[in-house]
Each structure stands twice: as structure tokens, then as C-alpha cells.
């Protein structure tokens, strides 16, 4: 059976879990990928690059895509629209790429509901809450108030691990990276329901 369509890999986990670090460790070993980025109507800022930081569109185009249900999710924040467009996702899938989402637990629910039969989800977590707090403090990039909010969010997110296909405890970077690498490669082998139905019909054709 020739499986030529792409696949989706969802990565979730609290801030400080090491998602970006892990992804950087494996990204060159899992074949052609597309990392999902948001679309926005806000003006491009200095130093930003179209198709790298965001896809920049005008409000008319954004609203048209809303009407055509071309967003997995979207929000109107401070006078501008932000959303995850299905256009580049579908294009990447058609090209046989692994589409990677770095999203929260709510986003995982949306992706699974819309694209579940080709989606593999991974929750990445530090071994303990204490370790997470230590990592957030060691970064020295957030105030105590921000760290406290991240900790509270992590406590809520951890209760939803059962919604994911895999859990990676990011204690040892090499071990965690090896696990993610294996999961990413396996995700490519996940067969969409329509292809399974086509194979079943072909197989029964006497």
C-alpha cells in the first residue's frame, strides 16, 4: 500500500518542558516537515519575516477564510485577528510532509476533532512540578507573577495527559529526543481512514 499523504504531530506541554529544545534535536532526522505558524492581520514588525514568524494577511482575506471554515481556530485580540489556517497545513499534507503543531491542550482538542485520523499527539513534561519551577526560575526571563501563572497552567494541563497518544518525560535530553524521534517517524505511517476504506474495498474485490 503506497501511503503518500502527510501526517500531523502535535506537541503540547507546559512552558519550560523543553519542547523547542527537543524539536531542534530531532527535526533533521524525521524527513520533510512543516512547522505550523499562525496567520494574523496585524502589521509586520521590524525583523519579522513572512512565512517564518506569521503569515500576514489583510482583514478582508482573514474574514473570507473564516466564512469558508479555513481556520482550525482563531481569535480577535487587541483589534487584530490571529488564527491557525488550514491552507498551509493542507498544502504541506498534500506534499507528504509531517505537519508539526506546538499548541496547548485546547488546541490539541481542536486538531484531533478536525484531523484526528492522521494526528499523533505527544505531551512533553518535566519529571516533577518542582523541576518545572526550577527550570522556569533558571531561565531568568519571567517575573515571579508570570512564573506563578505558568505553574498554575501546568497543573491544569497535566490533568489532561490521558487525551494524548504519548507522554515523554523530559528528564534526560538524549533519551527524550530518541523517543520523540521514534514517535515522529511512526506518525508518518499513520494511515487516514479513507485510505483504509479504499484498501478494504480493493482487497475484497474478487
Query: How do residues 92-126 score in pLDDT, each as one tens digit?
Result: 999 999 999 988 888 899 899 888 889 999 999 99
Domain residue ranges of the chain, discontinuous segments joined by +: 1-32+97-200, 37-95
Q: Are 118 and 93 in contact (CB under 8 A)?
A: yes
117: number of CA atoms within 13 Å, CB side? 8
**pTM for this predicted structure:** 0.83
The average pLDDT across 180-198 equals 89
Exposed / middle / buried, residue 84 (Cβ in 10 Å: 0-12, 13-18, 19+): buried
56: number of CA atoms within 13 Å, CB side? 9
The average pLDDT across 15-34 equals 91
**What CATH topology corresponds to 37-95?**
Guanylate Kinase phosphate binding domain (3.30.63)
Q: What is the pLDDT of residue 198?
A: 84
1-32+97-200 CATH pick, 3.30.505.50, 3.40.50.300, 3.50.90.10, 3.90.79.10 = 3.40.50.300
Q: Are 25 and 11 in contact (CB under 8 A)?
A: no
pLDDT tens string 125-151: 999 999 999 999 988 777 888 899 889
Amino acid at each position: 500500500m503506497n501511503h503518500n499523504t502527510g501526517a500531523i504531530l502535535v506537541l503540547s506541554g507546559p512552558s519550560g518542558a523543553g519542547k523547542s529544545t527537543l524539536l531542534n534535536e530531532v527535526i533533521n532526522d524525521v524527513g520533510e516537515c512543516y512547522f505550523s505558524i499562525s496567520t494574523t492581520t496585524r502589521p509586520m514588525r521590524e525583523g519579522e519575516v513572512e512565512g517564518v514568524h506569521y503569515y500576514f494577511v489583510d482583514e478582508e482575506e482573514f474574514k473570507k477564510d473564516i466564512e469558508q471554515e479555513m481556520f482550525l481556530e482563531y481569535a480577535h485580540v487587541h483589534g487584530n485577528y490571529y488564527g491557525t489556517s488550514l491552507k498551509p497545513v493542507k498544502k504541506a499534507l498534500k506534499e507528504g510532509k509531517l505537519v508539526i503543531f506546538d499548541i496547548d491542550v485546547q488546541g490539541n482538542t481542536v486538531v484531533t476533532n478536525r484531523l484526528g485520523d492522521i494526528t499523533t499527539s505527544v505531551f512533553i513534561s518535566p519529571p516533577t512540578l518542582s523541576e518545572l519551577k526550577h527550570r522556569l526560575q533558571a531561565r531568568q526571563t519571567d517575573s515571579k507573577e508570570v512564573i506563578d501563572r505558568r505553574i498554575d497552567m501546568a497543573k491544569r494541563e497535566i490533568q489532561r495527559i490521558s487525551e494524548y497518544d504519548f507522554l515523554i518525560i523530559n528528564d534526560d535530553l538524549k533519551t527524550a529526543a530518541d523517543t520523540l524521534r521514534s514517535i515522529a517517524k511512526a506518525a508518518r505511517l499513520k494511515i487516514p481512514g479513507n485510505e483504509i476504506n479504499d484498501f478494504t474495498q480493493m482487497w475484497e474485490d474478487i
